[in-house]
Amino acid sequence: MGLYSQIPLTIVRRSTTLLQKSQQWHPIRTILTYNSSSYCYESGGEERGGRLGFSRACTIFQVNGQKMGFGLRRSICDSRGGETRESMDYDVVIVGAGPAGLAAAIRLKQLSVDKQKDVSVCVVEKGAEVGAHILSGNVFEPRALDELFPNWKKQGVISFSFALHEEWKAMAPLHVPAVEDKFWLLSEKHAYSLPSPFNNHGNYVISLSQLVRWLGVKAEELGVEIYPGFAASEVLYDDTGHRVVGVATNDMGIVKDGSRKSNYQQGMELRGRLTLLAEGCRGSLSQEVINKFALRQQVDAQHQTYALGIKEVWEVEQHKHQPGFVLHTLGWPLKMKTYGGSFLYHMDNLQVAVGLVVALDYVNPYLSPYEEFQRLKHHPSIRPLLEGGRVVQYGARTLNEGGFQSIPKTIFPGGALIGCAAGFLNVPKIKGSHTAMKSGMLAAETAFRELSSIDKEPTMEEYYTALKSSWIWEELKSARNYRPAFKYGLIPGLAISAVEYYITKGRLPWTLSHGRPDHEALEPADMHTPIVYPKPDGIISFDILTSLYRSSTNHEHDQPAHLRLRDSRIPEKVNLARFAGPESRYCPARVYEYVAGEDNRLRLQINAQNCLHCKACDVKDPAQNIKWTVPEGGGGPGYSVM
């Protein structure tokens, strides 16, 4: 650290004082984040031992009037021992540093400044850093960003990011405006151009993980405490069990047999007067509160439907690169009864995002979304673009497709669901970041008003009312019939969608219902013929483990598996016997394998360290026997341009 390593330190809980005789140091605030490696340090000659649960302190301070950033990797320790979990209290605890969570945190702090009322806000993020678990297409609609930062195009530059530990320019990473839209129907050998239903004028081709990193920096500037590497594993309730009062992070340093390693760290309780769940699609805590408080039943919402998106970012040859070119396709390689499509977006820096989205209500248990994606890249209209290029990154993530009719009640005692935790994706637009951000902003405005009142317990009732009066509700209601129309097949779906888009403008007097839940859609294997996929050529198509390496996925290998079977007998007796082991194909990271033992009997092997946190298994398992829980904080993919 050079000069900074010579500065004497006095560190206390949630504050840092930096002292040096020759200069005036003025601490402004401290960011504390989590790390699994705890160690002790000496401060002022006094040795500190034990564990508190934080191991990185990042402080904004001024040197002779100039704002600077400073990151210290230190352990703040508590030698008292005992099993009582440490806790920290905030006005608002937000789970998930995605578009919704960070927009909510930023809006809360903006209101705090405007109204001159302090509100403490913390954001916990299971990824090793902000943006590490963020994956999206993404042709970004800046409507919500315009509201959050009206001058975002004119932002200046800061010198250091504290959650990222690196220099970071404050200019928003929206550099490539969408300039051309194409829409193709693919057969195996040809591409047929169709009228494009997309209007991306004014939108930007971006990396959402990079935008989220930028939002994290802006949140830090406003005083939000961001804790990357924290995995929120437990919802905390009050003594009655009927009000959420925060979350707890999971214990670190536990081995598979349940024993403790030398670096064991007990989880922390982060208690908030209000808790906002912004975990994204199929978040484990969000699912818990949706079920506990019957949030779908309260508003008669339909079940949620999902798709799996698989994506690669390529660096292509310069003469093939067309910044701002946007392509969407339907049809091949998927069958007529399987909903899905591909995208191809030209980003900046010679990068092109290419991906395939497959609805998880497909019926053929032999279908592999990953292998279908590899086939897609060999299409005669797509392969030439990729030839001569190289893959920069790979990833996968489920997305909500239920739309308007699947939105649950978004509030519960003590908090609210925001972003994709509630399900605000606009399917025909193939966009959800703008609605996620707006929902976070609406929740923040309600939370701030409620916290300003000292004579009552804060509630989020007004958030649900504001949501129904917002452009989110209007936009999703008009788009409500597009996705369920495709349960009848590709051609009927296109016909109904064309009527909705070009004639009725989303004003049909009825609302179509979804089909069966995704996990009930699989048909028995004996009704289908196994699909023989071509072997990867190592140039355009790749095996799963090669792709997995490009996702920078990493977990502590000896921790307890975060993918748990409710009944260990079901994989063999149901999934393998009836559906030919579909988990070995729907997972895009080879987490699930059927391996023959010494008796030649096939048994399910779970390679949890491969997990991309896509949640496909949690959605598609036909018996709903797989429970996805969070691993140790900091595990999972390490996306940077997704």
Q: Could you report the per-residue pLDDT of 389-408, keeping only the tens digit for each?
A: 999 999 999 999 999 999 99
Q: For 453-475, what is the mean pLDDT?
A: 94
* Exposed e or buried b per residue across 191-218, where buried means at least 16 C-beta atoms within 10 angstroms of its C-beta: beebeebbebeebbbbbbbbbbbbbbbb
- Contacts for 8 with CB less than 8 Å, ≥ 6 apart: 19, 20, 43, 44
Dump pLDDT digits (tens) for 197-219.
Answer: 899 999 999 999 999 999 999 99
Token pair of 189, please?
Answer: 């050998």
Q: Is the pLDDT of residue 65 over 50?
A: no
Distance linking the first and last C-alpha atoms of the chain: 30
- Closest to 179 (Cα-Cα) out of 156, 202, 149, 157: 202
The count of residues in the chain is: 642
> Are residues 427 and 401 in contact, defined by beta-carbon separation less than 8 angstroms?
yes
Dump pLDDT digits (tens) for 156-185.
Answer: 444 444 444 455 456 889 999 999 999 999
Question: Dihedral of CA 396/401/404/406: which sign?
Answer: negative
Token pair of 460, please?
Answer: 């989020």
Residue with tokens 């919402």: 301
Token pair of 379, please?
Answer: 């299409």
Dump pLDDT digits (tens) for 347-391.
Answer: 999 999 999 999 999 999 999 999 999 999 999 999 999 999 999
pLDDT score for 428: 92
pLDDT score for 166: 52
pLDDT band at 500; cut points 50, 70, 90: confident
Dump pLDDT digits (tens) for 433-451.
Answer: 999 999 999 999 999 999 9
- Closest to 440 (Cα-Cα) out of 162, 215, 290: 215
pLDDT score for 570: 97
CA distance 641 to 636: 15
Task: Name the more confident of 26 and 509.
Answer: 509
CA distance 300 to 405: 9
Query: Helix, strand, or coil here: 321?
Result: coil
> What DSSP element (H or E) covers 253?
strand 252-254
Which of 34-38, 77-81, 294-298 shows the lowest mean pLDDT across its residues? 34-38
pLDDT score for 83: 66
pLDDT score for 586: 97
CA distance 370 to 340: 13
CA distance 373 to 479: 27
pLDDT score for 171: 80
Classify residue 575 as left (phi > 0), alpha (psi -120 to 50) or beta: alpha
CA distance 254 to 266: 10
Average model confidence (pLDDT) for the chain?
A: 86
CA distance 353 to 314: 6
